[in-house]
Amino acid sequence: MQRFAYVVIFSSRILENKQESHQSRNEYRTRLTASIECIRYLLYQGLAFRGHDESEDSNNQGNFLTLLRFHAHHNEDVRAVVLENAPENLKLISPMFQKEIVNAIAIEIVNFIIRDIGDGFFSILIDESRDISIKEQMAIVLRYVKNGSVIERFIGMVHVTDTTALSLKMAIDNVFSTHGLSISRLRGQGYDRARNMQGEFNGLKPLILKENEFVFYVHYLTHQIQLALVVVAKNHGYIFTFFIFVANVVNVVGASCKCRDHMLREKQIAEVIDGFNKGELTSGQGLNQSTSLVHAGDTRWGSHYGTLISLITLFSSVIAVLEFIEKGLKSDQRGEASILLGSIQSFNFVFNLHLMKTLLDMTNELSKALQRKIKIS
C-alpha cells in the first residue's frame, strides 16, 4: 500500500524535480510515511479525520493532526520534518492530501480483493440508497469462497444517474470492466424485491441472466424477515403505538443534554451498587456494563431489540429522568414528559415491552444465525 502511495504522490511532487537534493527526498519520504501511517490507523479504527478547529492554537485539532503530533513526539526523525518543521507548502496535512491517500488505500484494498478472487466464481450483492446530498448510490458487495469459507467484501459505492434496471446494469458493467471481473464467472445475484431489481421482465435480474444463465438469484432473506416484522407491527395498532411511545421516550430522555445523560448514568451506577449490596447482582467480566438508550432504525428491527433491552435495563433510571424533566423550566418538555410518564408506567406499555422483547429475541437469534459465517466442506 505504501509503495503505491509513493508512486502516486511521491513521484508526482518530488521525484520529477531533478534539482532536489538527496536529503530533501529523504525528508519528504519520512514526512509522507508518517502521514500515511496516521491515515491507515484512523481508517482501520473507523475514526473521523478532521477537527472542528484545526488552527495552531486549538486545544483539539482533530484526530489526524493530533495523531501525527503524537507520532512526532515519540520519533525524533519524524519530529524533525513534520508540522512546524516542514516547509510551509509541503506539510502533507491538507484535506486534499488526506483524500488522495485514502483513495490510494481504497484502490489497493479493492485490488487485493480482486486478486483474492482470482479466476474463481463469485456472487454479487447490490442495494441502492441516497447519500446526504440526495444523490443515488449503489453499494456493491462481492461474495466468494476461499479455503472452505464464504467471504463477503464490500468494494465500494457507485454513483448512478437513476435507479432504473438499465442504469444499475451499466454501473455493474463499469465496475466489472474497471476491476477486470468477468460476468461469465458470476454465479449469484442478491438484492431486495423492488421491481427494478428482481422484476421478471424489466428488472436487473433478467438483464444479468440474459448474459449469463447460470447466475442464480437469491433474495435478501434476513432483510425479508426484518421487513415482515415492520409490516406486521405497523398493521397492529397497539404495537405501532407502543413503538411510537418508545421512540419518544428515547428522544426525550436521550436528548443532547449533559444533565440528563449524567443523571441517567448516575442512576444506573447507584442501582448496580444497590444490587451488589443486596446480593442481587454478581461481579464478573462483561457484567453490569454501563449502557445508554439505543435509538432504533427504520427498517432494521434488530436495532429495535437493542432499544427494548436498553429501556428495560434503564427503566427506573428513565422514570427518574422523566420526573426531572417534568419539574423543569421548559413548559413544552414538561407536558411531553408528563404524558410519557403516565404511558410507560401503565400495564399495557410494560406488557407490550416484555412481549415485544421476547418476540424480537427469537427473530434476533434467527437473523444472526442466517448471517453467521459458514464452512463449506
* pLDDT at position 8 over 80: no
User: Which residue has cell 519520512?
Assistant: 30
Residues in the chain: 377
CATH 3.30.420.40 positions along the chain are: 121-219
- DSSP assignment of 157-200: EEE-S---HHHHHHHHHHHHHHHT--GGGEEEEEE---HHHH-T
Phi, then psi, of 367 in degrees rounded to 5? -60, -45
Confidence (pLDDT) at 308: 85
Residue pair 165/188 in contact (Cβ under 8 Å)? The answer is no
Cα–Cα distance list, 93 to 39, 40, 60 (Å) = 10, 14, 15
Confidence (pLDDT) at 268: 60
pLDDT digits (tens, 9 = 90+) for 74-85: 999 989 988 888
Q: What is the DSSP letter of 127?
A: E
Outline where the chain has alpha helix (H): 2-5, 22-45, 63-73, 76-79, 95-117, 165-179, 195-198, 204-211, 221-234, 237-253, 258-278, 301-313, 315-326, 331-344, 347-371
User: How many Å is the maximal CA-CA distance in the chain?
Assistant: 82
CA angle in degrees (0–180, nearest 5) for 339-275-265: 50
pTM: 0.56
pLDDT digits (tens, 9 = 90+) for 317-350: 788 878 877 776 566 667 777 888 888 888 888 8
Other beta carbons less than 10 A from residue 102's beta carbon = 15
Task: Report the Cα–Cα distance between both ends of the chain, in Å, rounded.
Answer: 33
Q: Model confidence at 285, in pLDDT bands (50, 70, 90)?
A: very low
* pLDDT at position 187 over 80: yes
Residue pair 321/263 in contact (Cβ under 8 Å)? The answer is yes
Question: Residue 321: CB partners within 8 Å, gap ≥ 6?
Answer: 253, 260, 263, 264, 267
Cross-sheet strand order for the sheet of 216-219:
149-159, 136-146, 122-130, 186-191, 216-219
CATH match for 121-219 among 3.30.420.40, 1.10.10.10, 3.30.360.10, 3.40.50.1110: 3.30.420.40
Residue pair 367/302 in contact (Cβ under 8 Å)? The answer is yes
Confidence (pLDDT) at 322: 81
Q: Model confidence at 289, in pLDDT bands (50, 70, 90)?
A: very low
Q: Model confidence at 287, in pLDDT bands (50, 70, 90)?
A: very low
57 is written with which cell numbers?
A: 492554537
Helix pair angle (315-326, 331-344), 10° resolution: 150
92 is written with which cell numbers?
A: 502533507
